[in-house]
Amino acid sequence: MSSFAQELSNDFKEIESKVIEWRRYFHQNPELSNREFNTAKKIAKHLKSLGIKTQENVAKTGVVGILEGSKPGKVVALRADIDALPVIERNDLPFKSTVKSTYLGKEVGVMHACGHDTHTAILMGVAEILSKHKDQIKGTVKFIFQPAEEGAPEGEEGGAELMVKEGVLKNPNVDAIFGLHIASGFDVGTISYKSGGIMAASQTFKINVKGKQSHGSRPWASIDPIMISAKIIDGLQTIISREVDLTNEGAVITVGKIDSGVRSNIIPESAEMIGTIRTLDYGMQEQINDRMKEMVPAIAKSYRAEASIEIEKGYPITFNDIDLTKQVLPTLQKVAGTKNVHEIKAITGAEDFSFFQKEVPGFYFFLGGKTVGNTNPYPHHTPDFIIDESGMLLGVKTMTQLTFDFLNN
């Protein structure tokens, strides 16, 4: 082992406890999208303590660090998302979240129910190690701590799209970007990846149904928006089951919220639904969008109601650059071991890391966060979501080595 490799090995051993400590702090003190004020302060303080040039208030609450190596060269960006979710934590951890906030006008619990706390802590660890060895870096590293990956509050801009708009990939111009996501369903010690499209495009839709109010005992005098909403939901699922070619790519339409009515004995006048569309092919996305816009008002009209639908542009497909994937695969195998690096099929989750990938070549991978032997891991975005912290060190090692190998080779 070379002296530099030995130094890195020692650094990794020393940094693990710090990364876990940071992660627990963020987990206990989560903040919602575009409101990550204290999270950003802690990140910025850390970067400044390392002598890294630090930019704050990027895309509202984002933090960007710039580390220049000893020699000129390419520019690589490393990204971590920093926001939490409106979820009440059910875990009995000593550092569980008891934070409350407001979301869509309602009081909610706040929890890092998707692992962004681990991403933030990992990248802080990578920054510390790379700053110690900038004499070994040929080029420049940008550390991008991104807010609002889960989506900006209604009426606000945010996330990766706003960061790109504000020029985060410029001055200096980024040549490639790397990102990771902890995965509660993949074993600790493993890395999972896919060349090309790895995560779906995501769109949010809103449907408003206008009917006619009546006493609940006289449904014949009403035009029932709740019943009509049920028919619309049923109809939307036939687009997936009967109209799109699922042998091409997967697709999903989900209604996640329906709001209507105030009393058991009143048939209300209106109903509102919101949901998500997930696609892995832009042609299929266009087909689904068109059919939803046709179907929703037509179903409502058949029951004497009116309905409108709005579909947001959403997130693009998370697409791993083909050439970059080939280039970095040996690094993944070197760090994790060939048997621990797995190529997977695309998943219908979505990531706004895709906005960075639309501008520059990018590579995004999953880091195992499930205790080996656990046969029933809790999914992301749930109150019981939990990860094994022993998997975080591999994230630090991988992002560090990806940086050295991309810039120096």
Are 396 and 15 a contacting pair, CB within 8 Å?
A: yes
Read off the pTM: 0.92
User: Which pLDDT does position 154 carry in this prediction?
Assistant: 87
Q: Is 389 a catalytic residue?
A: yes
Same domain, 63 and 189: yes
Q: What are phi and psi of 46, to 5 degrees?
A: -65, -50
CATH of the domain at 47: 3.40.630.10
Same domain, 194 and 209: no
Q: Which of 311, 330, 352 is the last residue of a domain?
A: 311
Of the residues 315, 351, 364, 378, only one is catalytic, namely: 315
Predicted confidence pLDDT, tens digits, the chain (409 residues): 788 999 999 999 999 999 999 999 999 999 999 999 999 999 999 999 999 999 999 999 999 999 999 999 999 999 999 999 999 999 999 999 999 999 989 999 999 999 999 999 999 999 999 999 999 999 999 999 999 999 999 899 999 999 999 999 999 999 999 999 999 999 999 999 999 999 999 999 999 999 999 999 999 999 999 999 999 999 999 999 999 999 999 999 999 999 999 999 999 999 999 999 999 999 999 999 999 999 999 999 999 999 999 999 999 999 999 999 999 999 999 999 999 999 999 999 999 999 999 999 999 999 999 998 999 999 999 999 999 999 999 999 999 999 999 999 8
Same domain, 344 and 250: no
Same domain, 241 and 377: no
Same domain, 362 and 228: no
Q: How far apart are CA 68 and CA 288, in angstroms?
A: 46
Same domain, 301 and 324: no
User: Which pLDDT does position 75 carry in this prediction?
Assistant: 98
Same domain, 18 and 113: yes
- For residue 261, give the H/E element and its range: none
Q: Which of 263, 287, 311 is the last residue of a domain?
A: 311
Are 28 and 38 a contacting pair, CB within 8 Å?
A: no
Query: How many structural domains comprise the chain?
Result: 2
* CA separation, residue 26 to residues 29, 37, 65, 84, 151 (Å): 5, 12, 19, 9, 19
Any residues with CB less than 8 A from the CB of 171 and at least 6 apart, and which? none
Q: How far apart are CA 112 and CA 230, in angstroms?
A: 32
CATH of the domain at 226: 3.30.70.360
Find how far residue 13's CA is from the centre of its chain. Answer: 28
The token duo for 317 is: 């497909």
Same domain, 165 and 241: no
Q: How far apart are CA 339 and CA 333, in angstroms?
A: 8
Same domain, 300 and 383: no
Q: Which of 311, 344, 361 is the last residue of a domain?
A: 311
Same domain, 187 and 211: no
**What is the full DSSP assignment across 7-75?**
HHHHHHHHHHHHHHHHHHHHHHS---TT--HHHHHHHHHHHHHTT-EEEEEETTTEEEEEEE-SEEEEE
Dihedral in degrees, nearest 10, Cα atoms 297, 301, 305, 306:
30
Same domain, 186 and 211: no
Same domain, 151 and 242: no
User: Helix (H, G, I), strand (E, B), or coil: what is residue 236?
Assistant: helix
Q: Is 89 a catalytic residue?
A: no
Domain that holds residue 217: 201-311
Q: How far apart are CA 41 and CA 34, in angstroms?
A: 13
Of the residues 128, 150, 249, 389, only one is catalytic, namely: 389
